[in-house]
Structure 1
Amino acid sequence: MNHDGNSNHADDDFLISKSQLKRDAEAQQELGLKLVNLSDGKLAKIPLDEDLFDAIKLAQRIRNTREGYRRQLQLIGKMMRNRDTSAIERGLAELEQSHNDQNALFHQLEKYRDHILADGDAAIQQFLAAYPHADRQKLRQFYRQASKQQQQGKAPAAARELFKYLREVATV
């Protein structure tokens, strides 16, 4: 309320609730935890300043000390609140999208493999339509070996080799 007893609505727009501040702090700490859980290779792809990077590496080293690790995560969360995290969030989103794309490709290749093992030449032709640089002869050879192994009740070594070849062709 201002001096004449009326509420000043302009000031109300700038007030942030204590609950909202707590939710924001928890979100930053969660973002920090995601960074701590990344492998070194993935962490290197995220734009981090030296202090934050060092804090994350320390948290990774002390992961087995329960209380120290908890406090380190809180420190990382506090550090995150004092930074513009949009570049970090974008970097994590790109890593996640890359992971999702790899999973989708993996599942698609599994379907191709199963289709080739079930339908032979027709399925090989479909794969060649999608990946013209694949070797038809090699695909047929894997198919014949896998069929023979299946008939003999042997381990599906050729089916595994077929999948490896499909993955090799698809990731060129």
Structure 2
Amino acid sequence: MTDHDPIELEDELPEGPSKTRRKKDSDALQRLGAELVALSADRLKKVPLPENLRDAVRACQRFKMEARRRQLQYIGKLMRNIDPEPIQAMLDVFNGVSAEEIARQHRLERQRERLLEDESVLFELAERHPGADLQRLRVLRRNALKERETQKPPRAYREIFRILREIDESPTND
């Protein structure tokens, strides 16, 4: 039996994260990849991805069963070489969990309430977004007010929000 110097033993210890930590990180990247695979084509275009990863995600969307599982593993492997933060930030926006997205939702809800209270809000929208369909919003406003009075389901109320969100997402014509 040989005596080892404690300093020598420290040099022999493996460096870096443990096998458990690496496995958890790998699983987290695969879950992130699965979220990417679940996105629609339009949303996927908005996510900042390297072209090889984007191609792998598109391919995985076409696969079924075992091929899909293997492709998700491959996506996880590709993601080890990139920073996942921008991807996660965009997914948070899509899922409505980012602070910016929550603030935007609240702003749109306030705008909808202002529109229901005062029809002149339509003119503000027209100034900021010349392409907005004001006639459609006017009809929906009237219908939403009628729904409130008769206590019917708020279909027009929800549709107003959807249209305001689309207007907000469209580029402004300044």
The bucket for the TM-score relative to the shorter chain is 0.5 to 0.7
Asked whether the 8 Å contact 2:109–2:161 carries over to 1, the reply is: no
**Secondary structure, aligned partner of 2:56:** helix
Q: 1:150 to 1:92 in 2, by over 3 A?
A: closer
Tell me what 1:133 maps to: 124
Aligned-partner residue type, residue 45 of structure 1 = K
Tell me what 1:19 maps to: 20
- Is 2:97 the partner of 1:89? no
Higher mean C-alpha displacement, 162-171 vs 13-22: 162-171
Tell me what 1:163 maps to: 160
**1:96 Cα deviation after fit:** 2.6
Structure 2 unaligned segments of length 5 or more: list them.
127-134
Count of residues in correspondence between the two structures: 154
Q: 1:19 to 1:70 in 2, by over 3 A?
A: same
Tell me what 1:48 maps to: 49
Tell me what 2:34 maps to: 33
**1:89 Cα deviation after fit:** 2.9
Aligned-partner residue type, residue 90 of structure 2 = E
Separation in structure 2 between the aligned mates of residue 32 and residue 48 of structure 1, nearest angstrom:
11
Separation in structure 2 between the aligned mates of residue 95 and residue 106 of structure 1, nearest angstrom:
16
Structure 1 unaligned segments of length 5 or more: list them.
none
**Equivalent residues in 2 for 1:64-79, closer than 5 Å:** 65-79=64-78
Deviations 1:74-97 (A, max 9, x none): 12212222x1x21x5314413533
Give aligned-pair identity as a percent.
Answer: 32
**1:49 Cα deviation after fit:** 3.2
Question: What RMSD, in angstroms, separates the aligned Cα atoms of the two structures?
Answer: 4.4
Separation in structure 2 between the aligned mates of residue 27 and residue 75 of structure 1, nearest angstrom:
13
Separation in structure 1 between the aligned mates of residue 36 and residue 140 of structure 2, nearest angstrom:
42
Which of these two proteins has the greater Rg computed from alpha carbons? 1
**1:73 Cα deviation after fit:** 0.9
Q: TM-score, normalised by structure 1?
A: 0.59
**1:150 Cα deviation after fit:** 5.6
Asked whether the 8 Å contact 1:35–1:56 carries over to 2, the reply is: yes
**1:29 Cα deviation after fit:** 1.1
Q: TM-score, normalised by structure 2?
A: 0.59
Q: 1:66 to 1:143 in 2, by over 3 A?
A: closer
Q: 1:116 to 1:96 in 2, by over 3 A?
A: same
Deviations 1:16-49 (A, max 9, x none): 3211121121122112212212222222233333
